[in-house]
Structure 1
Amino acid sequence: MPDLRNFWGQWQHHRMIFAIALPMIISNIAAPLLGLVDTAIIGHLERPIYLSAVALGAMVVSFIYLLTVFLRMTTTGDIARAFGAEDIRRQQQTVVHGLWFAVGLGLVIMVAAPGVISLAWWLIEPQPELAQLSAKYIDIRLWAAPAALINLVVLGVLLGRQQSRQAMLLVIFTNAVNVVADVILVVILDFNVAGAAWASVIAEVSTAMLGLYLIRTLLAGSNWGIKWPGMQRFLGMNRDVFIRSLLLQLCIATMTGYAARYGVVVVAANAILMQFLMLISLGLDGIAYAVEALTGAAIGRKRAAEVRYWMRLTLIWSIIFAVGYSLVFLLFGSSIVRLLTDLPAVISAAESYLPWLIALPLLAHWSYYFDGVYIGLGLTRAMRDTMAISALAVFVPVWQVSQWLLTNDNANHGLWLALSLFLFARGVSQWLYLKRPGLTPEQRIHQ
């Protein structure tokens, strides 16, 4: 039991936080690095359209899978609470429900592939040859949809049980297998776009097999029947987090999609600066994972004071990361931009919007932190509601009003203002929501 009177906590408990956060931060860094190798392999083929087709197809598939990340989040929260309570049966039931749901939803995605492709091309309007090659890539990739969703469930189980090193192994294994399969299928066998797609399928299926092996002790004694009251609750949680994720992704997508009205230079500048947001998420996501696992386990042990203790310690690290990011962007932001592009017009535009990125970590880290808290406490409906409030009552009005008031030269500043206030509003609304009756850690324990 931690010494709850020590505001700064004990060093061993900070080590516990980083035992969960650091492997996931490493995983978040390793994935795009291995992805660069993947891109380099495709990029050295004789026709640039192959790279474009893989990039476009991967974007569509990634968007689909990004909307299904609710499976990882809800599984983590449920498993963490059962893990803290040392309730093996509940952990097993959560795994069973998660796997059944993953397979069912994965099959739906496979069947819906033609409709997904048609909708994507209606929105994007690619050239015919590019559309044909990308459609082939997407169609092959979605054969692995059940395996990809099983991987989200397994990742949630490992994080909820605080086995973050194995979770890191799983993420790195996926990307390593993908790279090796790319070399064989694309470079050696010359299957170009289809080879890249099958490489990803092999990686997803192989990872699902490894993941199921890693949680074999839970699966061994599981009753594979579905308990409908528990399944209905699980589905409700996933529905709430899906709505939350969809609203978030629509707001983020606006930063690139709507910026197209301002010209290619602004679109390119925003694309460069959105990589800063990706850098922010590397660290803050790691802290959020730790919050989910530690607060969830404390709830399972029915120790409200311990929940608040972990909330305090992880908040300290969230603030430290946010301040660190802001200082890095202040001192080296221009250098980072110049590493990502050497186009003078894009550099000039990106540097004019850089102050937003310097402020963003301080404004946004609250939303990452409270997402972790809400998953740990099982407050998925509150996550959904606060996201809807922030998106519909802050992002959309600020975005629209800024477009009316600002000239074309400054209109993109309105987009960054809307995004900054939106992320800050998420944190504030989550903090206020947490103070409502029935939502405190003490009250959650008795529900």
Structure 2
Amino acid sequence: MSTALPLTRRSIFAQAWPIMLGQVTVPLVGLVDTAVIGRTGDAAALAGVALGATIINFIFWSFGFLRMGMTGMTAQAQGAGDRAEVDALLVRGLAVGAGVGMLLLAAQLLLIPAAFALLAGGPEVDANARAFVGARFLGAPACLALYAINGWLLGLGRSRAALALQIVWNLANALLDMLFVWHFDMGARGVGLGTAIAEWVALAVGLAIVGGHLRTAGRRRLLDGAAIRRLFAVNADIMLRTVALLALFAWLASAGARLGAETLAANQVLLQFVSIVAFVLDGFAFTAESRVGQAIGARDRPAMLRAIRLTGEFSLAAAILFSVAILAAGGAGIALMTTDAQVRATAGAMLPFVALLPLLGAPAWLLDGVFIGATAGRALRNAALASTGLYVASDLLLRPLGETGLWIAFLASYVYRAGALGLCVPGLLRSLAEPAPRT
């Protein structure tokens, strides 16, 4: 019997608001990292954290399928009423996350030099970035295991539990960053170390939240060969999708570094606005993941269409509000995050482009949620590859415009991704109208 949640505007918002509140705290990792260093007035350290964060995000979020794939598969298992598979998915995800994290920790001596061979911001910036990255690797196993827990909770619609976990994670990060940087004067390394320790604290809390399900997971289901093959088949495409999008952001960071340390630092400040908008609007995208996944598990095409429509309505309304808020308060936000006059001026000049981003990005984020919930990895992969390729071409063409061209190309990347996913929606609807495959 299906255990899907009711599909009303009230229930959609009840599920989405804790995710949105929790998602507000997700970019606080980057925001706090940026502000703690930015308030020291050291532009090289701020640029180093920006460059180091790009490298860490690229490496860690290459395994973001542990969150995304887990959400879609858990939601589908719940929609189909398969509670044993729901519990088994949690254990499998935790095992893969912790195992991959340990491999990353062991491989950092190779990964860090390779990363800096591709992305370089000058001797002083690189020194700060290396210190930050080396410290962040200490949290790799905890970070990747947390991806699995978050994805599992979101797939079940347990958004309040996910909110509690996210708040613990980010409060610990803020307190530890301030302790290591402002009290112990550890600079960029202190920022990385604070974040790594916060990840371990959050993992302990996450295991306490899901502990009952870990105890009830059946051993036979854990070792189900077909389920394990599906886990890796779905997640391979999502991993390629994630790598393509991370490559896009790495290209953006490299383009900013090419224009100088002040531009790189200004972009880091502006990207905090981007992160806040994306993460909050992801509250509706994550809700779409859960609701679409449940509808597919129950083979309920009308429920999927209603889930897309309701989450889309909320997403559009929130995007309009964010655009207005950035125009009205963005200047004050920039001043709060950095005291460097040149960085403030550069960031302020690009603020109107950032204000356009919620409206242009909302369709891409929502469609990501729809296809993640459907575990339609191939469509996600192809859309990400296409949008990243078109973005790089656009950036190369617009380089004569400097910082303005950089931001125009970045905004266009969201339009490319939404267009590519939009072309796949009819096929997704047709697949649900067909009879369920025999198992």
**What TM-score range do you get, normalising by the shorter chain?**
0.7 to 0.9
CA contact (8 A) 1:304 1:445 kept: no
CA contact (8 A) 1:377 1:444 kept: no
Structure 2 SS opposite 1:162 = coil
CA contact (8 A) 1:438 1:444 kept: no
| Percentage of matched positions with identical amino acids | 30
Structure 2 SS opposite 1:86 = coil
- The 3 A distance-change label for structure 1 pair 276 and 265 is same
- Within the alignment, does 1:163 sit opposite 2:154 as a pair? no
Show the counterpart of 1:292: 289
Structure 1 SS opposite 2:427 = coil
CA contact (8 A) 1:60 1:138 kept: yes
Show the counterpart of 2:368: 371
Structure 1 SS opposite 2:223 = coil
Show the counterpart of 1:402: 398
- The 3 A distance-change label for structure 1 pair 261 and 444 is farther
- The 3 A distance-change label for structure 1 pair 351 and 191 is closer
Structure 1 residue 381: Cα displacement? 1.2
2:206 to 208, 211, 226: 211
Distance in 2 of aligned mates of 1:144 and 1:288: 27
Show the counterpart of 1:412: 403
- Within the alignment, does 1:422 sit opposite 2:413 as a pair? yes
- The 3 A distance-change label for structure 1 pair 317 and 413 is same
Distance in 2 of aligned mates of 1:124 and 1:426: 25
Structure 1 residue 331: Cα displacement? 4.4
- The 3 A distance-change label for structure 1 pair 143 and 88 is same
Matches for 1:130-169 after TM superposition, within 5 Å: 135=130, 138-169=133-164
Show the counterpart of 2:3: none
Distance in 2 of aligned mates of 1:137 and 1:338: 24
1:63 to 54, 58, 79: 58
Q: Given the two structures, how large is their TM-score scaled by the length of structure 2?
A: 0.84
Distance in 1 of aligned mates of 2:34 and 2:350: 28
Which has the larger Rg?
1
Structure 2 SS opposite 1:390 = helix
Distance in 1 of aligned mates of 2:435 and 2:204: 36
Structure 1 residue 420: Cα displacement? 2.2
Structure 1 residue 29: Cα displacement? 2.4
1:177 to 172, 176, 179: 172
Distance in 1 of aligned mates of 2:365 and 2:126: 36
RMSD: 3.6
Q: Which moved more, 1:78-87 or 1:12-21?
A: 12-21
- Within the alignment, does 1:318 sit opposite 2:315 as a pair? yes
Q: Which moved more, 1:226-235 or 1:370-379?
A: 226-235
CA contact (8 A) 1:79 1:94 kept: yes
- Within the alignment, does 1:86 sit opposite 2:81 as a pair? yes
- Within the alignment, does 1:251 sit opposite 2:248 as a pair? yes
Distance in 2 of aligned mates of 1:83 and 1:92: 10
Figure out how many residues of one structure are paired with residues of the other and give that number.
Answer: 431
- Within the alignment, does 1:231 sit opposite 2:228 as a pair? yes
- Within the alignment, does 1:103 sit opposite 2:98 as a pair? yes
1:327 to 306, 324, 330: 324
Q: Which amino acid aligns with 1:424?
A: V
CA contact (8 A) 1:244 1:383 kept: yes
- The 3 A distance-change label for structure 1 pair 353 and 128 is closer
1:212-234 deviation line (CA, Å, top 9, x unaligned): 22222322222344323222221
Show the counterpart of 1:7: none
Q: Which moved more, 1:53-62 or 1:360-369?
A: 53-62
Distance in 2 of aligned mates of 1:262 and 1:131: 16
1:163-189 deviation line (CA, Å, top 9, x unaligned): 111111111112333455567777888
Q: Which amino acid aligns with 1:384?
A: R
Q: Which moved more, 1:144-153 or 1:155-164?
A: 144-153
Show the counterpart of 1:6: none
- The 3 A distance-change label for structure 1 pair 438 and 331 is closer
Distance in 2 of aligned mates of 1:101 and 1:309: 34
Structure 1 residue 248: Cα displacement? 1.3
Show the counterpart of 2:279: 282
Q: Which moved more, 1:227-236 or 1:347-356?
A: 347-356
Distance in 2 of aligned mates of 1:361 and 1:303: 31
1:214-264 deviation line (CA, Å, top 9, x unaligned): 222322222344323222221122221121112112222333322344445
Q: Which amino acid aligns with 1:417?
A: I
- The 3 A distance-change label for structure 1 pair 388 and 89 is same
Distance in 2 of aligned mates of 1:387 and 1:352: 29
Show the counterpart of 1:122: 117
Distance in 1 of aligned mates of 2:109 and 2:197: 21
Structure 1 residue 305: Cα displacement? 0.5
Structure 1 residue 282: Cα displacement? 3.1
